[in-house]
């Protein structure tokens, strides 16, 4: 019930904002409604700690022969940190919105709250059927948002291809269902067949842009700093949650080293491009790829807690940096605390990140992690044309810092309490080496040309001409388009009415046969 209450608070706040905007478009209390809803949702997620673990089971769909598994949600040590991160991000987006005059829009705030609600449902989903439903809702939201934010048929086609790769990831999760049922196992995360485990990794990696390496959305699209950040990071967290449920028995496969190698390559590339990005928003796709690749590597190393830790870092540490739209020396120092969270030093947010069997991959992981942290520090202290906090209104200058401090405070909180990854010593020697390399990279970045920021030029977002995977998807897209045009021409022709009546008769006949 607590899961339902938390989600209801976010969805109710979104609905209230839509109603208020329709009745009183210029209402001044819209922002208070949004913030109040987010505060209550965050408080309710904190209350989960008192009763975890607990389940929320919705009535089974009919017929039960087709839908054998009910819609099931569970709050436990894996889902709670991600749920807290998502609600914290939503509240931070709304608190920092006061310093962004361009986003004073009730519909944008409503969308942020709704995304938070879907994110909570995704990270608490306890069987693949439930997770697939939430993925569909998030993909539809992103599709609509992307199509409204890009211009030109070429960019629209890229958006379709990007969503198609995510749909392919969903299809692979469905294939895991087939494999599990064929082996006589139930299709839920507790009793899933071990043979389905690597399909989980591939499905999550495909949706996140790690397997194969690609940017999962269009770099040309223009989305707002607040809503765009919540969309990107919540969508990524909803896919990362699958990695926390990979069966340990599946990791002995001969394919595990190959998938780990591909994930390490994605991590190195993503972190390298993140370090060299001209600004944090340009580097946001590479941030997602780098952290997602770390999560995949941790899951393949038999460490689901590490996958969750990197997911929380992706949302909280990245979120606060992408929301920082005002220049202030004191707040910049607060942002630097995120480097501690990424360091995997003892008692940090990611202290449990590398507990597992990484073997000879450790040097590459250390290199990628040092690139990631150095890039974070560089973007935090980077001189920019941001507005000064002193130029904001008095009340805004008080509220905005709270939106920056909140995610940082949650990072320290998750390092100490609330889940199995808290208060961990972790791989401390590896963390010290990565931190030392980070110091060297921070020193070298402004002094050597190779570290100068550039824009990526080959890992473009799922363009039709890039690689066999996307050529195949593009061919399917063209083929479906031709089928749709053929059906449309048939129905709009002289015999269109007759064809429509025939389809209706066939449909009614099939429905009548299924009636007892």
pLDDT of 56-67, one tens digit each?
A: 888 776 666 656
Question: Is 467 a residue whose pLDDT tops 50?
Answer: no
Across the chain, mean pLDDT equals 81
List alpha helices for 445-513, DSSP H. 467-492, 496-513
In 24-67, the DSSP E strands lie at 54-57
Number of domains in the chain: 1
Burial class for 81, CB neighbours closer than 10 Å (0-12, 13-18, 19+)? buried
Q: CA-to-CA distance for 405 and 293, rounded, in angstroms?
A: 27
Pairwise CA distance, residues 479 & 2, whole Å:
46
Interhelix angle 106-124/225-240, rounded to 10 degrees, is 10
Assess whether pLDDT exceeds 80 at residue 52. yes
Could you tell me if residue 310 is inside a domain? yes
Contacts for 5-8 with beta carbons within 8 Å, 24 or more apart? 5/44, 6/41, 6/44, 6/45, 6/48, 6/83, 6/87, 6/120, 7/117, 7/120, 7/121
> What value does the mean pLDDT take over residues 276-304?
91
101 domain-assigned? yes
**509 within domain boundaries:** no
366: phi then psi, degrees, rounded to nearest 5: -60, -45
Contact 322, 277 (CB under 8 A): no
Of 36, 42, 112, 135, the closest CA to residue 80 belongs to: 42
Q: Among residues of the chain, what percentage have pLDDT more than 70?
A: 78
The yes-or-no verdict on residue 337 having pLDDT over 60 is yes
The mean pLDDT value for 265-283 works out to 90
Whose tokens are 């780098």? That residue is 290
Residue 478 lies in a domain: no
| Residue 324 phi, psi (nearest 5) | -75, 95
Q: Determine the Cα angle at 82 with ends 209 and 112, to 5°.
A: 80
Domain assignment present for residue 317? The answer is yes
Q: How far apart are CA 308 and CA 78, in angstroms?
A: 7
Domain contains 46? yes
Question: What domain range includes position 50?
Answer: 2-463
Q: Among 383, 325, 320, 382, which Cα is nearest to 103's?
A: 325
Q: Cα–Cα distance between 82 and 238 in angstroms, integer?
A: 9
Q: Which residues of 339-363 are buried (b: 16+ CB within 10 A; e: fewer)?
A: bbbbbbbeebbbbbbbbbebeebee
Is residue 263 within 8 Å of residue 300, measured between CB atoms?
A: yes
Determine which of 57-71, 277-291, 460-474 has the lowest per-residue pLDDT on average.
Answer: 460-474
Is there a domain that residue 487 lies in?
Answer: no
Segment 305-328, tens digit of pLDDT? 999 999 999 999 999 999 988 877
CA 342 to mean position of chain CA atoms: 17
Give 471's pLDDT tier (boundaries 50, 70, 90): low
Q: Could you give the CA distance from residue 339 to residue 336 in angstroms, rounded to a whole number?
A: 6
E strand or H helix at 388, and its extent? strand 387-388
Report pLDDT digits (tens) over 366-400: 999 999 999 999 999 876 656 666 666 777 778 88
Confidence label for 457 from pLDDT (cuts 50, 70 and 90):
very low
Contacts of 148 (CB under 8 A, 6+ apart): none
Q: Which of 330-334, 379-383, 413-417 has the lowest mean pLDDT?
A: 379-383
In this structure, are residues 79 and 123 in contact, taking their beta carbons and an 8 Å threshold? Answer: yes
| Res. 220 pLDDT band, cuts 50 70 90 | very low
Question: Nearest CA to 120 among 4, 213, 236?
Answer: 4
Residue 511 lies in a domain: no
Question: Residue 59 to residues 55, 125, 129, 229: CA-CA distances in angstroms?
Answer: 13, 15, 14, 34
In a 10 Å sphere around its CB, with 0-12 CB exposed, 13-18 middle and 19+ buried, how is residue 10 labelled? buried
């Amino acid at each position: 019930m607590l899961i339902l209450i938390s989600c209801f608070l976010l969805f109710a706040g979104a609905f209230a904002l839509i109603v208020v905007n329709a009745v009183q478009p210029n209402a001044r209390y819209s922002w208070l409604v949004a913030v109040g809803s987010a505060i209550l949702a965050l408080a309710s997620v904190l209350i989960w700690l008192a009763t975890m673990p607990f389940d929320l089971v919705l009535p089974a769909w009919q017929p039960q022969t087709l839908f054998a598994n009910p819609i099931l949600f569970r709050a436990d040590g894996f889902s709670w940190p991600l749920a807290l991160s998502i609600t914290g991000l939503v509240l931070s987006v709304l608190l920092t919105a006061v310093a962004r005059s361009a986003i004073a829009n009730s519909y944008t705030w409503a969308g942020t709250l709704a995304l938070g609600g879907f994110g909570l449902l995704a990270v608490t989903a306890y069987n693949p059927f439930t997770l697939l439903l939430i993925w569909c809702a998030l993909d539809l939201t992103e599709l609509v948002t992307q199509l409204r934010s890009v211009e030109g048929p070429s960019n629209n086609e890229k958006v379709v291809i990007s969503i198609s790769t995510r749909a392919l990831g969903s299809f692979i999760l469905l294939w895991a269902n087939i494999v599990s049922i064929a082996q006589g196992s139930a299709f839920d995360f507790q009793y899933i067949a071990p043979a389905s485990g690597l399909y989980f990794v591939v499905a999550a990696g495909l949706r996140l842009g790690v397997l194969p390496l690609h940017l999962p959305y269009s770099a040309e699209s223009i989305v707002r700093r607040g809503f765009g950040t919540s969309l990107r990071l919540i969508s990524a967290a909803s896919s990362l949650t699958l990695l926390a449920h990979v069966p340990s028995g599946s990791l002995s496969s001969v394919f595990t080293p190959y998938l780990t190698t591909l994930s390490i390559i994605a991590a190195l590339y993503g972190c390298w491009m993140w370090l060299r990005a001209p600004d944090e928003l340009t580097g946001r796709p590479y941030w997602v790829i780098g952290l997602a690749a770390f999560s995949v590597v941790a899951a393949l190393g038999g460490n689901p807690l590490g996958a969750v830790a990197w997911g929380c870092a992706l949302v909280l540490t990245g979120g606060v940096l992408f929301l920082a739209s005002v220049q202030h020396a004191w707040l910049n120092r607060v942002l630097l605390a995120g480097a501690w969270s990424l360091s995997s030093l003892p008692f940090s947010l990611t202290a449990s990140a590398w507990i597992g069997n990484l073997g000879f991959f450790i040097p590459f992981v250390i290199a990628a992690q040092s690139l990631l942290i150095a890039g974070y520090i560089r973007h935090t202290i980077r001189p920019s044309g941001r507005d000064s906090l002193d130029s904001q209104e008095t009340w805004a200058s008080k509220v905005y810092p709270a939106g920056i401090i909140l995610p940082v405070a949650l990072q320290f909180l998750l390092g100490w309490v609330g889940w199995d990854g808290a208060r961990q010593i972790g791989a401390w020697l590896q963390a010290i080496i990565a931190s030392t390399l980070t110091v060297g990279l921070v020193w070298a970045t402004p002094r050597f040309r190779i570290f100068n920021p550039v824009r990526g030029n080959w890992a473009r977002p799922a363009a039709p001409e890039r690689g066999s995977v996307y050529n195949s998807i593009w061919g399917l897209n063209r083929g479906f388009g031709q089928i749709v045009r053929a059906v449309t021409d048939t129905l709009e022709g002289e015999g269109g009415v007759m064809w429509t009546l025939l389809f209706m008769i066939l449909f009614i006949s099939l429905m009548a046969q299924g009636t007892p």
